[in-house]
Structure 1
Amino acid sequence: MFDVVGFGALNMDQLYMVDRIIGPEEETIIRSFKESCGGSAANTIIGLSKLGLKTAYIGKVAMDREGVKLKENLEREKVNLDLLIITKEGRSGKVIGFVDENGQRALYLDPGVNDTIKIDEIKIELVENSKLLHLTSFAGEGLKVQETLLERLSSRPLISLDPGNLYAKRGIKSLRRLIEAVNVLLLNEMEIKVMLGYRGSYKEAAKLLADEVDIIIIKRGSLGVYGLMDDLEVEVPALKVECVDTTGAGDAFNAGFLYAWLMGHDLKTSCYFGNYIASHCIQGYGATTTLPSSEATRILKK
């Protein structure tokens, strides 16, 4: 039995630091290069694994260099690989990005085998016995596979969803079947407005979904986090730390929030612990390199 199973795209992030983002027929200089294992759900699952939970991951990689690295990274972080699908054909997912001196980015997504995952490749019985299933986005047909998986579960774990920009842009109608199954919805201020096609405040947007989702969390970066559960609203400020890199901060928040919630803590405490884990993430480079170990959970006992 797993505490949490993640299900989302696995990508190798390849970032090139450049003088500026250029247009057609222009040239510029690459100053440096960074490569790291990515994928929103994977980042969150690694965070939960570091906090001491028993985790597993549903994803798909090829047997290329990137796929080997993605697999080894999950294994190194003690994420169970019984649900990981490895194919001999195709290429693993990549995100190729160009980042200028001001932090502006141009990102190119190559989904690779992420978009070839099939429901029959998933060991459904292993998912049924988990406490929580955490979902994030796919660029292609992965959404339909996630919907089918939820339909086929004979016993359903708690469901959390971070739709990210990719799913948010599809709109609420395209996500309706998924939203109806979700217990915890985690997204940022822009994403909830885009998803709903709503121009009002983030609080008003959250309340439009209150009858469909048990808990709605709006992540607001340096402005903190807003949580809504039934008629209870909480706002928790971000922790003041030196920010080095915001990559994966939202995924780190998800790990902290979901851990505290699974441990039986209330909405405000769970939001605080999410901010606490995110504050560790942004103090170093990469999405998971500075995430804390289970020692961090001691603050929940105070």
Structure 2
Amino acid sequence: MFDAVGFGALNIDQLYNVDRIIGPEEETIIKGFRETCGGSAANTIIGLSRLGLKTAYIGKVATDREGIKLKKNLEKEKVNLELLTTTKKGRSGKVIGFVDEHGQRALYLDPGVNDTIKIDEIKISLVENSRLLHLTSFAGEGLHVQETLLERLSSTPLISLDPGNLYAKKGMKTLKGLIEAVNILLLNEMELKMMIGYRGSYKEAAKLLADEVDVIIVKRGPSGVYGIMDGLEVEVPALEVECVDTTGAGDAFNAGFLYAWLMGYDLKKSCYFGNYIASYCIQGYGATTMLPTREATRILK
């Protein structure tokens, strides 16, 4: 049995360090470059693997240089690949990102073969026997494959979803199938309001979804995190550390929160551990470079 299975797009992140994020017809200087393995669900699963959980990943890569690198990286991080599909056709996913001196970023997505994954390529029995299934966004048809997978599960693990910007902008009508199955919803303030079409406060927005989802977590960056479950509301401040790069910070939070939740900790403690793991992430470049090992879990004891 796996503790956690991730299901989302796999991408190579090509990150350029620039003076500032620019607009149309503007120019700036590239000061550095780094290529790392990414994908929102993959980042979270790697975080959970480093914390000592038994993990696996549902995704698809090509046999190109990027696909080989993505596959080897998951292997190195001790993520089981029985659910990973490899194809000889097409190109693997890629994200080109620009990160300024304050750690803010702009991202451009090339989905490649991510959205060609088929339900028949997934070993459903391996998912059914897992404790947690963590879902993140696809640019295209991957959403429907995720919905079909949830419909075909005969026994259901805990389901968590981080919709990201791609899913949030689709709105509640499109996401209805996923939201009805989700136990834990993890998203930022902008995504929450975008998803339900609401302009009020993030707390009011979260409460509007409280009847649909058991646990709602609103990530607010340097302003901390807000959580609500069964009428219980918690707010946990962010940890004060030097921010180098915010890439993957939300995914790192997810890893910390989901680890603590699976270990049986309460809402507030789980939010705190999410912030704690995210604080590691933003102190270096890339989404997983700084993610800690199992020793970090000592803070929960």
TM class by shorter-chain length? over 0.9
- 2:13 alignment counterpart: 13
- 1:156 alignment counterpart: 156
* Distance of aligned partners of 1:239 and 1:19 in 2 relative to their CA distance in 1, 3 Å threshold: closer
- 1:217 alignment counterpart: 217
CA distance in 1, matches of 2:59, 2:231: 36
- 1:76 alignment counterpart: 76
In the alignment, structure 1 segments of 5+ residues that lack a partner are none
- 2:196 alignment counterpart: 196
- 1:264 alignment counterpart: 264
Deviation (angstroms), 1:16: 2.7
* Distance of aligned partners of 1:53 and 1:106 in 2 relative to their CA distance in 1, 3 Å threshold: closer
Letter in structure 2 aligned against 1:218: V
- 1:107 alignment counterpart: 107
Deviation (angstroms), 1:100: 5.0
> Normalising by the residue count of structure 1, what TM-score does the alignment of the two structures yield?
0.95
Letter in structure 2 aligned against 1:249: A
> Normalising by the residue count of structure 2, what TM-score does the alignment of the two structures yield?
0.96
- Equivalent pair of 1:184/1:215 in contact (CA under 8 Å): yes
CA distance in 1, matches of 2:280, 2:257: 14
- 1:240 alignment counterpart: 240
- 1:31 alignment counterpart: 31
* Distance of aligned partners of 1:276 and 1:28 in 2 relative to their CA distance in 1, 3 Å threshold: closer
- Equivalent pair of 2:56/2:80 in contact (CA under 8 Å): yes
* TM-superposition CA deviations, 1:59-113 (whole Å, max 9, x none): 1000000001100111100000110101111100011234455666443211000
- 2:65 alignment counterpart: 65
Secondary structure of 2:286's partner? coil
* TM-superposition CA deviations, 1:147-187 (whole Å, max 9, x none): 00000001010100000000000001100110000000000
Letter in structure 2 aligned against 1:139: A
CA distance in 2, matches of 1:197, 1:56: 34
- 1:51 alignment counterpart: 51
Deviation (angstroms), 1:244: 1.6
CA distance in 1, matches of 2:72, 2:65: 11
CA distance in 1, matches of 2:114, 2:281: 26
- 1:280 alignment counterpart: 280
CA distance in 2, matches of 1:33, 1:115: 27
* TM-superposition CA deviations, 1:106-156 (whole Å, max 9, x none): 432110000100000001010000000000000001000000000000101
Deviation (angstroms), 1:300: 1.1
State yes or no: 1:95 paired with 2:95.
yes
- Structure 1 residue ranges (4+ consecutive) displaced by more than 3 angstroms after TM superposition: 17-24, 26-31, 98-106
- Equivalent pair of 1:22/1:28 in contact (CA under 8 Å): no
* Distance of aligned partners of 1:144 and 1:37 in 2 relative to their CA distance in 1, 3 Å threshold: same
* Distance of aligned partners of 1:101 and 1:261 in 2 relative to their CA distance in 1, 3 Å threshold: closer
Secondary structure of 1:53's partner? coil
CA distance in 2, matches of 1:285, 1:275: 17
- 1:254 alignment counterpart: 254
* Distance of aligned partners of 1:231 and 1:45 in 2 relative to their CA distance in 1, 3 Å threshold: same
In the alignment, structure 2 segments of 5+ residues that lack a partner are none
CA distance in 1, matches of 2:262, 2:100: 40
CA distance in 1, matches of 2:273, 2:104: 29
* Distance of aligned partners of 1:101 and 1:255 in 2 relative to their CA distance in 1, 3 Å threshold: closer
Q: Percent identical across equivalent pairs?
A: 85
- Equivalent pair of 1:7/1:59 in contact (CA under 8 Å): yes
Deviation (angstroms), 1:242: 1.7
